[in-house]
Amino acid sequence: MKTKLRPANDGIGSVHTVRLPLWPYLITPLCAFAALPLTWGAHILYGTDADTAGWTGVLLTICAGVLIAFVAWSSRPRGVVMQVMATGVTVLSAAWVIPAVLSGPISKGMLGVWFVGGLLMSIIVAVYRIMRQARGDADGDRSAIRGEMGELGAAVKQLKDAAIGRPQVAGAKVSAQVVLPPGQTFAEVQGARSQIASALDVGGTAVRTHPDPDSERRGRLDVVPVDQLRDPVPWPGPSAPGGSIALPVVLGKSEDGEPLQLHLVGDHAVQRNAIGILGVVGMSGSGKTELLLTFCAEVLTRHDEELRIIDARKGDQLPSWLHRHAAQVTTGRNAAEDVIEALRDEIPRRAKQLGERGIKQWQEGCGIPHVTVLIFEAAAVVAGNGDLVDLSEAVRSVGMTIVLELQRATHDRLPTSARSNIPAWICLGVKDEADAEAALTDEQADAGAAPWKWKALKPGYCYASGPGIEPERAAMPARGFAASEEEREHAVDSYRGHTTQPAATTPVPPAPASDEPNDERAELDALTRDDPPDDVDPAEPIKIDRNRPRFDFAPAQQMSPADARDELRRAILLAAERGMTTVKPEQMSPVLAATGMSGSWLYKALREMSDGPDALLAPARDRGHYRILVPQRA
Q: Residue-wise over 258-288: b if at least 16 C-beta within 10 A, else e?
A: eebbbbbbbbeeeeebbbbbbbbbbbeebbb
CA 460 to chain centre: 8
Q: SS3 of 309, please?
A: strand
Do residues 388 and 340 lie in contact, with contact meaning Cβ atoms separated by under 8 Å?
yes
Length of the chain counted residue by residue: 634
Judging by DSSP bridges, how do beta strands 174-179 and 13-18 pair with one another?
unpaired
Contacts of 498 (CB under 8 A, 6+ apart): none
| Torsions phi, psi for 503 (to 5 deg) | -60, 135
Q: What dihedral angle (degrees, nearest 10) is formed by the CA atoms of 45, 48, 51, 57?
A: 80
Tell me the angle at which helices 288-300 and 485-496 cross, rounded to the nearest 10 degrees.
Answer: 20
Per DSSP, helices labelled H in 357-415 are 379-382, 386-394
- For 494, other C-beta atoms within 10 Å of its C-beta total 13
Residue 426 host element (H or E) = strand 424-427
- For 93, other C-beta atoms within 10 Å of its C-beta total 19
Is 282 annotated as belonging to a binding site? yes
| Torsions phi, psi for 592 (to 5 deg) | -65, -40
Q: Residue-wise over 579-613: b if at least 16 C-beta within 10 A, else e?
A: eeeebebeebeebbebbebbbebbbebbeebbeee
Q: How far apart are CA 290 and CA 380, in angstroms?
A: 20
Do residues 205 and 453 lie in contact, with contact meaning Cβ atoms separated by under 8 Å?
yes
Q: Residue-wise over 242-257: b if at least 16 C-beta within 10 A, else e?
A: eeebbbbbbbbbbbbe
Read off the amino acid at residue 621: R
Is 287 annotated as belonging to a binding site? yes
Question: Helix/strand/coil (H, E, C) string of 546-612?
Answer: CCCCCCCCCCCCCCCHHHHHHHHHHHHHHHHHCCCCEECHHHHHHHHHHHCCCHHHHHHHHHHHCCC
Question: Which of 630, 618, 516, 520 has its CA nearest to residue 577?
Answer: 630
Question: Helix/strand/coil (H, E, C) string of 5-36?
Answer: EEECCCCCEEEEEECCCCHHHHHHHHHHHHHH
- Quote the DSSP letter at residue 45: I
Q: How far apart are CA 216 and CA 193, in angstroms?
A: 17
Question: Which of 366, 371, 439 has its CA nearest to residue 401?
Answer: 371
Distances (CA, A) of 547 to 305, 350, 369, 427, 496: 18, 21, 18, 33, 18
Is 118 annotated as belonging to a binding site? no
Is 286 annotated as belonging to a binding site? yes
Annotated binding site for ATP: 282-289
Annotated binding site: 282-289
